[in-house]
Structure 1
Amino acid sequence: MFIELSDWSPVLLSLKTALIAVIIVILFGLPLSRLMARWEFPGKDLLEAAITLPMVLPPSVIGYGLLMLIGKNGFLGKILANMGISLIFTWWAAVLAATVVAFPLMYQSAKAAFKSVDVNYEKAARTLGAGEVRIFLTITLPLAWPGIVAGLVLSFARALGEFGATLMVAGNIPGKTSTIPVAIFFAVDAGDDATARTLVAIVTVFSFLVIFWVNRWAKRQNY
């Protein structure tokens, strides 16, 4: 009923891919969500619609868009090719796909968290001479932390379960680009029910525990 240890590469690859994707999402998502939560400017609604678009687009559409970007004839793909770099059908392409689909979850959660912070605390700190970086690290970030953590966990779970876009840009190369969802698809296609069942059980239990933990943690924060 269980797969051999040598076949656990999809699990390890998925964890590595999701972890790196979440790090990227945090590095870019937190500053952007903080900026968008406080800054009003013409075209803001259009920009936010573009940022959150991956939440509603079919994964195949996202995958095709990434192919147009990093493929051999893509804008970024040509630039990278001139540098001797190819992302397509590598595990970095899987990281890119996971990052794109996970980013809106982190952005939306962090933005809502930053908007919930009382600006009077920040204003009071400014009157006392605190700089913007210090205000963010000592006031804004701690107050917004519960929402940020929820976005982080959900983004990790979403990155872990990414399938459609990953398959299109990274393919299914065992031990190299075969993540859990991709491995499940090809295991079922090959009639390998034992492997499929085990991988399904792993990702289902993990996703359930993530949602359960977020709900319990959020409930404790409200008390």
Structure 2
Amino acid sequence: MEGKNICSKLNPFRECIEYNLGLWECPGFLFLIMGLANIVAMVATYFVANRYSDQPEIVALIVIIISAIFLVISYSITQGFDKLAQANKMKTEFVSVASHQLRTPLSSMRWALNLLLDEHFQGSEQEKTSYLESVQESAERMIKLVNDLLDVSRIEMGRMIFAPRQTNLYIIAQKIIGSLTPYAKANNVALTLDAPETLPNVFTDPDRILLVVQNLIENAIKYTKG
């Protein structure tokens, strides 16, 4: 099993598929080509040096120097391509995550607006105001997410920037329930908040924890048969 894992790691084609790159952009394949070029250079250098020198020590020294130069160049090139490949992979993953995060507030906005525009909707003014507030909150979250997408430095670093602070989980839960209630009603699912208002604060990023819990609840609603 370990042998298979080692062979898999040494397989340049697997790396190309993983990074979604062409063969000549793949670091593993380039390293293989550079290795072959290095061997050819060593052999060629040996024959050329032998032609102009009868001293084996000088020939060996020339071969070592040329090989070292080729090795450094090969390593630099493959490392550069490896960093580019990893950055490309991280960008793809980042966009995928961000797209999912954008879909959640969009879904909440759509269901709330559909409910308000439904001519059969008999909700009170307070309910209508609540739905409009949830639309506004969803729009604000979308703006934050779009700002994250536009922040290229976060993508290049391969990580999100967190802003942890003392966070009231009860307020977070209220926001989530409020924003997802229209979506839940459209799927014949009832959402209730069963938690004391005296929940202790936690040190976390409120925007990120809201997205995580909201995604979980949205998926629960989606796959619950009402």
* TM score, norm. by length of structure 2: 0.31
Whichever of the two has the greater Rg, that structure is: 2
Higher relative contact order (CA 8 A, sep 6+): 1
